[in-house]
Structure 1
């Protein structure tokens, strides 16, 4: 059984020891045992005087209740546990655990950012039966934020368009991505982002897949598209380099946990298949 997201806290104590997803902005506390990382249980942390802040029930995994807690950056972590970057955690855990980590991170971000009403400035209170915060003074209700973003692989014959951002690790390239703006469709966003970032036009936009991305609260919606016309011209703002690559000459690319990598792998496998058919 995988991870099951839930909003309402359990009425009774579970049959198994709960798990704790202890997270701050960039890190998660994990346990190293039997040559792998584990999400710590209540037993693992009970002997330590952790100053955990704002604990939230987020669901259950293999019949274990799951809780998200924020820890301060100056927390003294015992030798039995350790903190690792959240992005690294995505390479160490199963898809079900990654789903739970993503949800925990987004709930903690929402809880931190909406402690006060954005309309009148008064403190908010969390509703007992749904994931929402309400202002008792003006009635404004805020739900966990979700920001839709497109990510697109653009293909020109046997080449894939990859670009490099200044914030990427050295030598890494990826497909293009950007946030959806008010008033536009996803397809319009694809066309706008590609034009703004690399100066070309695309056509034949097709849905590929999606991925939750908790940095801080994105929903990545993937598309493929075909090159239509234009020459690459980078914006020198978000993008510092962009090139066409064949499947056999790909540069350093994102990790396997990301939808960007899945899109690049799809291009690579499709190219290899086409080459075999030609042979």
Structure 2
């Protein structure tokens, strides 16, 4: 098994996920650089922290932790938001990039022990940070959250959050609280944000969402009872929409898009039966 801090050889073909300040280096084709160190115009990596992330398409993937504003990688690409990869609709690529960003966040926020304040050290046989003073060990944090598309007859519930840009509507989502099941979270969030009860909850898919460290678990559900009453602190507007009059919704590649398409298919199947 490859250790996380094992450094690559110069002739190893690999994917290079170069992260800094929440962004990632993408080349002219909109991809992370790929190739052998000796063939790429990369700076020497001796002064950078390099972490093995796993494999993608039979090639190793390495995270390179750069500094914000670092122009040493300009010859291979430019720093861009990870959201640029969502539009490619490539789940494997986005998942690995998400891992790179989440590991970056983990390393940058665990330099010191949260228990005693001493300096943390990287564990060389697994991805973890260890405090050698009090023996406290930390692993990359994952914040689970649910995201759900709700239908009522042939319509879908869409809302615009306070953080959405004007005109963009999406499905409902919320973070799991301590002690909750996913189903309990879903029911609570829907009631708190929209004032309705749901039934027929079905799991669809999940997606790592690295803004900064979420795991989105996607569901569909059906309206059971209640009138819409939106929480003004979370949502600015929303309604039941027919699929022939949808407003702007999240782009392909996002889990929200997949849930909206799954709901559309459910409505189509129901109408044909």
**Pairwise CA distance, 1:253:** 0.7
**Pairwise CA distance, 1:123:** 0.8
| 2:187 alignment partner in structure 1 | 191
Alpha carbons 1:51, 1:71 under 8 Å: kept:
no
* Distance in structure 2 (CA, Å) of the matches to 1:211 and 1:107: 16
Matched, 1:167 2:160: no
Matched, 1:62 2:61: no
> When the two structures are superposed, what TM-score results if normalisation uses the length of structure 2?
0.89
- Runs of at least 5 residues in structure 1 that lack an aligned partner in the other structure: none
**Pairwise CA distance, 1:10:** 5.0
Give the stretch that moved more between structures: 64-73 or 220-229: 64-73
Judged with a 3 Å threshold, the aligned counterparts in structure 2 of structure 1 residues 78 and 133 are, in CA distance, closer, same or farther, namely closer
Matched, 1:39 2:32: yes
**Pairwise CA distance, 1:94:** 2.9
| 2:233 alignment partner in structure 1 | 237
* Distance in structure 2 (CA, Å) of the matches to 1:51 and 1:239: 48
Give the stretch that moved more between structures: 153-162 or 57-66: 57-66
**Pairwise CA distance, 1:86:** 1.0
RMSD: 2.4
| 1:144 alignment partner in structure 2 | 140
| SS in structure 1 of the partner of residue 80 of structure 2 | strand
Of the three residues 107, 119, 122, the one matched with 1:123 is 119
**Pairwise CA distance, 1:66:** 1.7
Matched, 1:92 2:88: yes
Of the three residues 160, 176, 179, the one matched with 1:180 is 176
> When the two structures are superposed, what TM-score results if normalisation uses the length of structure 1?
0.87
Once the two structures are superposed, residues 4-63 of structure 1 have per-residue CA deviations (whole angstroms, 9 ceiling, x without a partner) of: x9654558738633321111243211111xxx22321433342x4789743211122334
Judged with a 3 Å threshold, the aligned counterparts in structure 2 of structure 1 residues 168 and 51 are, in CA distance, closer, same or farther, namely farther
Give the stretch that moved more between structures: 263-272 or 192-201: 263-272
- Runs of at least 5 residues in structure 2 that lack an aligned partner in the other structure: none
Number of equivalences: 269
